[in-house]
Amino acid sequence: MKPMRRRPVQVLVLAAASLALALTGCAVIPPPSGESTSLGSFRVECEFSHRAQVDPIVSFGRTSMHVHDFFGNTSTAATSTYDSMRRGGTTCSDPGDRAAYWAPSLVAPGGRFVTPEIAVFYYRNRPVEYSETVPFPPDFRMIAGGKNAYPHAYWTCDGESDTGYESRRATIPNCGPGGKIKLHVFFPSCWDGKRLDSPDHRSHVAYGLDDDGGVEGTDPDVCPASHPVKIPQLDFRVQYDVSDGRAYRLSDGEVLPHVDFWNTWHQPRLEHWVDRCLGHRGISCKLATG
């Protein structure tokens, strides 16, 4: 079975991290021998599901501080549990993706909430030449982005390069007549290999590092020794039918978004896509469907 096949990889990575840290004290470790991969990816498109002032990761059982837009799992609520989410439906193109994705709602100048057109979630194996990508474990949760999160969180205009630094903006842009604004957040792709969540919902994961040890959120070279297990790099994108967003704000009052992810995928289906697309070959699966 795939989970059994992947456990030795995780153990090997953790052992390598401990040894490197003990011998050198360095924050950067090399990939385990023979585990280098090539860049691979798959993506899932998820329609808008619902809007609610809840956040089951941060404010379980309570009203949250602000309103969120939810994608994917249609049952996400303040009191959702892993078991209840597994029974929920999905708005995603892959029926096995019952994960929950959410972001603060976009608010127009007059106070109207803007319903997103579509959300697209890319899963990639990065750092590329570092270890094997391990699927998110069941019930895994994390938050990324927020104030001062640029360049891990930013905005572009539809039709612009999604990867070019020149198109990334720290504020909501004016895309001109017929243009549409698009929200982006890159999640960390390195995990401590132990916790499914943490008190701040962030510290159990970390952004990868470049060769010089600096944080590199979008295209890292290695994982830090404190978080040596490579998980899929999740690129969270939401598009709105708004051309000039300069007077718009998110429901938390910010312009840089934070976003949440809760792994309630049908786990064998997630493992299938990670193995097929993010494995040693590294292939681009244009759309995970069927």
pTM: 0.85
Sequential pLDDT tens for the chain (290 residues) = 333 333 333 433 344 333 333 332 333 334 443 455 678 999 999 999 999 999 999 999 899 999 999 999 999 999 999 999 999 999 999 999 999 999 999 999 999 999 999 999 999 999 988 888 999 999 999 999 999 999 999 999 998 765 556 689 999 999 999 999 999 999 999 999 999 999 999 999 999 998 766 777 678 889 999 999 999 999 999 999 999 999 999 999 999 999 999 999 999 999 999 999 997 667 888 654 54
Task: Please check whether residue 103 is in contact with residue 257, taking contact to mean a CB–CB distance below 8 angstroms.
Answer: yes
Q: What percentage of the chain's residues is helix, strand, coil (to nearest 5)?
A: 15, 30, 60
pLDDT tens digits, 253-284? 999 999 999 999 999 999 999 999 997 667 88
Share above pLDDT 70 across residues of the chain, in percent, rounded to a whole number? 81
Rounded distance, CA 255 to CA 278, Å?
A: 32
Rounded distance, CA 218 to CA 179, Å?
A: 25
Task: Please check whether residue 50 is in contact with residue 70, taking contact to mean a CB–CB distance below 8 angstroms.
Answer: yes
Task: Please check whether residue 57 is in contact with residue 263, taking contact to mean a CB–CB distance below 8 angstroms.
Answer: no
Beta strands in 62-212 (DSSP E): 68-72, 100-104, 106-107, 113-114, 118-124, 141-145, 153-157, 181-186, 190-191, 205-206
Task: Please check whether residue 158 is in contact with residue 175, taking contact to mean a CB–CB distance below 8 angstroms.
Answer: yes
pLDDT tens digits, 27-78? 333 444 345 567 899 999 999 999 999 999 999 989 999 999 999 999 999 9
